[in-house]
Amino acid sequence: MAFKRTINILILLMIFISFAKCSLFSVKSTVFFDDELKIFEKSLNSLEYGYGYDYDMELYYIYSYSYSKDNFDKKEKAFAEVINSADYKTVINIYERILKMQAVTDYKINKYKTEPRWKYYTFIKNDLHEPLNTYSALMLKYILKKNPSLSQFFEMKKASVNSEITKEYTKKEEITDTF
């Protein structure tokens, strides 16, 4: 009887671990669709940048390596080739997601500065903010080269996204604070 119980517990434990493993170590992006992710990764690779997610800060980010700034003009040309060869609507969708990443990053910087949580603030401000802004500026540059009339649209979109993110995260913190 005890043997059957032990086996049942082990089977349940194995099932639990397999589900946990799938959710903890999944590399599937929740930010981009597959076609967008391919272009996003190609464009990051052209700049020798990377991306990731920090579970403690709940933050998607773009990072650079120490050598990413070397020969940046050459890397920007490679970036331009990736962006110009991609579907224009897909590139715009990626950029809109990058605007959201920027808004969340800026929100977190301000939050960690006022809380204060200096470890997170310093890491984001010193290591993650610049690569994200550089990537975003390059995306916008090449989008506007194809269609300069979108400039005002993206200014309004950025303001809208910033407002939306501030409201969303403020609401999340209020809900968390009540428990």
Question: How far is residue 108's CA from residue 61's CA, in Å, rounded to a whole number?
Answer: 12
Name the CA radius of gyration of the chain, rounded. 20
Question: How far is residue 120's CA from residue 54's CA, in Å, rounded to a whole number?
Answer: 10
pLDDT in tens, the chain (179 residues): 665 665 555 454 455 444 443 333 334 457 888 999 999 999 999 999 999 999 999 999 999 999 999 999 999 999 999 999 999 999 999 999 999 999 999 999 999 999 999 999 999 999 999 999 999 999 999 999 999 999 999 999 999 999 999 999 988 888 766 65
- For residue 10, the model assigns a pLDDT of 47
- For residue 105, the model assigns a pLDDT of 97
- For residue 4, the model assigns a pLDDT of 61
- For residue 25, the model assigns a pLDDT of 36
- For residue 9, the model assigns a pLDDT of 55
The pTM of the full predicted model, rounded to 2 decimals, is 0.80
Residues 6 or more apart in contact with residue 63 via CB below 8 angstroms: 49, 50, 51, 52, 127, 128, 131
Q: Residue 103, exposed/middle/buried by CB under 10 A (0-12, 13-18, 19+)?
A: buried
